[in-house]
Amino acid sequence: MLPGSTMIFTTIVLLCAVASATAQTPVASQSFPFPSILTPQVPTNPPYSSSPVMKPFTLSAVTDWSRMSDWTSPYNIYRDGGGSCSLSNRTFWVFCDTTAYSKTTGNILGAASNSMTVALSFSNPKGLKDVTMIPSTGWKPAIPFTAYEDTFSGNIGTRYALWTYTNCVQLSETRAMHFFLVNKFSNPYSSRQYGNTMAIYTLDPVTNQITIERPEQFWYTNQTYGYGSFASVVVNKVAYLYGLDRTYSGSYDVHLAKVPVGYETNRNYYRYYDAAAGAFSYTMPVPTARRQANAVIQGTMPFSTGTVFWSAYHNAYLLVFFNNWVDSTFRVLSAPSPTGPWNVSNSVLYRSTPGEGGFNYGGNASPIYYQQPGQIAGKELLLQYSYQNTSNTYPKILQVTFN
Ligand SMILES: *[C@@H]1O[C@H](CO)[C@@H](O)[C@H](O)[C@H]1NC(C)=O
Ligand SMILES: *[C@@H]1O[C@H](CO)[C@@H](O)[C@H](O)[C@H]1NC(C)=O
Ligand SMILES: *[C@@H]1O[C@H](CO)[C@@H](O)[C@H](O)[C@H]1NC(C)=O
Ligand SMILES: *[C@@H]1O[C@H](CO)[C@@H](O)[C@H](O)[C@H]1NC(C)=O
């Protein structure tokens, strides 16, 4: 055999080993007992594309549920960010920076980069039951750090942070996927995004265990768009993953990738949308400059956080979002398909009232709360945001009903 062909053969073998290791051995994994609290809902069945005729975005009712809190926890728990999804008729949230305080002394007992908590009921959406803020485990985050990231955990000025700012998406009855940015602190007050990562949630409804895995430390490094960490939606067994161009567009442009459900941990199945060509390809647009022509959405204001979902009531895909101007206002865009064309002329849905901190952030919609039998999906929405009180931040929610 020629030396050259030996080398090629070796390379192929190595690549195969890497590919299968990627799919089968996560870089981090852990499980938690998961309460059996049922919140059954009916999944929507979105079409690829609908006719753009739809209802207006005016509201007939708003119910302010105020603070979401962990009613059964022995601690006062504060948290921010967050998103939700359902598995096997149980609905859970993954929030960001979480702190637990003693109810008697008011002293801080523990903190974690993120935490998981379960919805108690859709009819009283304020109530949560915390799953992961447990002192006996050392208050570890719900989404595990890699062993390397964990070596920085004790140091507030160099730590990694895993912050979820959009909803997870259900892939099957027992499996969901969640994308978010991986941040690293360079001093106690500022952090940078090193990339984007994926968590896979697998619920065993018989043993009541949830397993949370990260297939790789970075699914995409910060040299590419953070696909999925702005928003994700599943349509007919295809996951559509939206990511912001923060660096070159100042978060005005949204880029889109897609992957067939079942292949989400295999990078070779990801395809990337090029709006100029009106098609997906295996070639990822490289963000070495602003790529407006490739972007699926070019906003008229910078995006901060958001949720994409199908609204049967509006006969449209909706993007409910907060902008980066921190005006505490929920706005909505619409499109006939996940790839658009997105109508970027936004409607104001609801102006929330900020607390002492000056502005609310982390605005998202949780449509699944009102996808119960007899309800038209999208007619009502649960809106959630991070409210900054005098010294702490916590999630607040409201229910809105469209005309
Ligand atoms: C979820 O709840 C719905 C409605 O009650 C029910 O039809 C369905 O079988 C349930 N699914 C599971 C996996 O429990
Ligand atoms: C991208 O990540 C690298 C670490 O891999 C970091 O040094 C750099 O500052 C990051 N870039 C930005 C723009 O945050
Ligand atoms: C785009 O959305 C705005 C705000 O909701 C609406 O007034 C306008 O009619 C929409 N345009 C089209 C072409 O649907
Ligand atoms: C803000 O925090 C204070 C002190 O913890 C508390 O008494 C008050 O009720 C909170 N205000 C709101 C609007 O939640």
HEC-encoded secondary structure of 281-307: ECCCCCCCCCCHHHCCEECCCCEEEEE
One-letter identity of residue 365: A
User: What distance in Å separates the CA atoms of residue 95 and residue 102, rounded to the nearest whole number?
Assistant: 20
Question: Residue 243's CB: how many other CB atoms inside 10 A?
Answer: 25
- Which of 38, 89, 91 to probe ligand 1 with, by most ligand atoms within 8 A of CB? 89
Cβ of 263 closer than 6 Å to ligand 2, yes or no, is no
The pLDDT value given to residue 2: 33
Cβ of 43 closer than 6 Å to ligand 1, yes or no, is no
17-74 pLDDT per residue, tens: 344 434 569 999 999 999 999 999 999 999 999 887 788 899 999 999 999 999 889 9
Tell me the CA–centroid distance for residue 203 and ligand 1, in Å: 15
Mean pLDDT of the chain: 93
Percent of the chain with pLDDT over 70: 94
The protein residue with its alpha carbon nearest to ligand 2, atom 9, reads: 192
Name the band, by pLDDT with cuts 50, 70 and 90, for residue 130. very high
User: What distance in Å separates the CA atoms of residue 246 and residue 248, rounded to the nearest whole number?
Assistant: 6
Q: Where are the domains of the chain?
A: 5-402
User: What distance in Å separates the CA atoms of residue 352 and residue 94, rounded to the nearest whole number?
Assistant: 22
What DSSP designation does 150 have? Answer: H
395 Ramachandran zone, left/alpha/beta (phi>0; psi -120 to 50): beta
Classify domain 5-402 at the CATH class level.
Answer: mainly beta
**Which ligand sits nearest to residue 122's alpha carbon?**
1
165-216 pLDDT per residue, tens: 999 999 999 999 999 999 999 999 999 999 999 999 999 999 999 999 999 9
How far are the Cα atoms of 21, 178, 328, 394 from residue 384, in angstroms, in the given order?
Answer: 38, 17, 11, 10
User: What distance in Å separates the CA atoms of residue 387 and residue 81, rounded to the nearest whole number?
Assistant: 10
User: What distance in Å separates the CA atoms of residue 118 and residue 88, rounded to the nearest whole number?
Assistant: 13
**What is the residue whose two structure tokens read 């005006």?**
327
Residue pair 329/352 in contact by the 8 Å Cβ criterion: yes
Which two three-digit tokens encode residue 193? 């995004």
Q: Where are the alpha helices (DSSP H) in 136-291?
A: 147-150, 246-249
- Tell which wins on pLDDT, 202 or 5: 202
The pLDDT value given to residue 5: 34
Tell me the CA–centroid distance for residue 42 and ligand 1, in Å: 8
Tell me the pTM.
Answer: 0.93
User: What distance in Å separates the CA atoms of residue 70 and residue 75, rounded to the nearest whole number?
Assistant: 8
Tell me the CA–centroid distance for residue 40 and ligand 1, in Å: 6
Q: Pocket around ligand 4: residues whose beta carbon is below 6 Å from it?
A: 355, 389-390
Which two three-digit tokens encode residue 269? 């199945």
